[in-house]
Amino acid sequence: MRIAEVGDLAMLQLPNNKQTIFKLEADREYQTHKGSIFHNDLIGSPWGRDVETHLGTSYVFLPPTLHDLVRNTRRISQIIFPKDIGYILLRLSIGPGTRVLEAGTGSGALTTAFAWMVGEHGKVYSYDRREDMQDLSKQNLERVGLMDRVEFTLQDIADGIAEKDVDAVFLDLPRPELYLSQIHEVLANGGVLGTILPTTNQVSAFLRKIEEEHFDSADVAEILLRFYKPVAERLRPTDRMIAHTGYLVFARRMHTK
């Protein structure tokens, strides 16, 4: 049986799917706007049970998944959505031990997923030129206990990138085509570069540049995800969906002499 322990991340979920995530610490009290819960009543108890606040509101007590952590990223920028992050992780082949570089950090949603996936022996190098963004993403990474897997650099990537031979690069910033020569210096031969762009004309501008900067095998995709109302007797799609987030573009770094 899986039991919640001191130091674990815990999540309380309401029936409307509202979630709240926090770290379990002895003798602490967690305040929700629907009443408080003592951590000591959760520590040592099984995951996946109902718990009640002192005001009688019932929550489901769960260990957060990576999807929950990304969804609950505190944000002051647009973040990359979980549906896109899942595919990015596969295309960039992010796993234990990977060294991945990203710019910009933004609120750190993608950083969180990278940090989770690279494990204890991998590293995420994250650049942003805005201090407020990096401060928030540091808080977000600290909150989920993944801070030691990330090296943050407060710098415009136009002013250089210190790392060499990284396994993969992801750019989530306007006009990524401006930085292709820097990325070529940083990415290992054959490594994958990915980017996300909100409009097709930005994708065209990127595609026009990649070959002359020695990247190859480009492809462009968008991910459409449709949720269903989970009612067995009347199973049908939900009324609304997120129709557009961004276009994903991937390319491989070619060797040059």
Ligand X SMILES: C[S@@+](CC[C@H](N)C(=O)[O-])C[C@H]1O[C@@H](n2cnc3c(N)ncnc32)[C@H](O)[C@@H]1O
Q: Give yes or no for residue 133 binding ligand X (CB under 6 A).
A: yes
Q: In this structure, how many other beta carbons lie within 10 angstroms of the beta carbon of residue 250?
A: 20
Q: Give yes or no for residue 108 binding ligand X (CB under 6 A).
A: yes
Question: Which of 4, 69, 79, 115 lies at the binding interface for ligand X (CB under 6 A)?
Answer: 79
Total of residues contacting ligand X (CB under 6 A): 21
User: Between residue 207 and residue 246, which ones bind ligand X under the rule CB under 6 A?
Assistant: none
* Spatial contact of 114 and 106, defined as CB atoms under 8 Å apart: no
Question: Which of 125, 127, 206, 247 lies at the binding interface for ligand X (CB under 6 A)?
Answer: 127
- Nearest distance in Å: CB 81, ligand X: 9
- Nearest distance in Å: CB 183, ligand X: 12
* Spatial contact of 35 and 47, defined as CB atoms under 8 Å apart: no
| CB-nearer residue toward ligand X: 19 or 155 | 155
Residues 6+ apart with CB under 8 A from 220: 203, 207, 247, 248, 249
Question: Which of 64, 106, 122, 176 lies at the binding interface for ligand X (CB under 6 A)?
Answer: 106
Q: Is 2 exposed, middle or buried (0-12, 13-18, 19+ CB in 10 A)?
A: exposed
- Nearest distance in Å: CB 82, ligand X: 10
- Nearest distance in Å: CB 9, ligand X: 19
Of 168, 158, 218, residue with least CA distance to 189: 168
Which span sits near ligand X by CB under 6 A: 10-18, 71-79, 183-191, 236-244? Answer: 71-79
Question: In angstroms, rounded to a whole number, what is the distance separating the alpha carbons of residues 55 and 58?
Answer: 9
Residue 66 parent element (H or E): helix 66-71
Question: In angstroms, rounded to a whole number, what is the distance separating the alpha carbons of residues 210 and 216?
Answer: 7
Which span sits near ligand X by CB under 6 A: 11-19, 33-41, 122-130, 161-169? Answer: 122-130
Of 83, 64, 60, residue with least CA distance to 72: 64
Q: Tokens 């250089």 belong to which residue? A: 160
Q: Give yes or no for residue 84 binding ligand X (CB under 6 A).
A: no
Q: Give yes or no for residue 8 binding ligand X (CB under 6 A).
A: no
Helix (H, G, I), strand (E, B) or coil at 58: strand
Q: Angle CA(206)–CA(211)–CA(217) in degrees, nearest 5? A: 90
Question: Which of 72, 98, 107, 195 lies at the binding interface for ligand X (CB under 6 A)?
Answer: 107
Which span sits near ligand X by CB under 6 A: 53-61, 77-85, 201-209, 231-239? Answer: 77-85
User: Between residue 18 and residue 47, which ones bind ligand X under the rule CB under 6 A?
Assistant: none
User: Between residue 152 and residue 211, which ones bind ligand X under the rule CB under 6 A?
Assistant: 156-158, 172-173
Provide the binding-site residues for ligand X, judged by CB under 6 A: 77-80, 103-104, 106-110, 127-130, 133, 156-158, 172-173
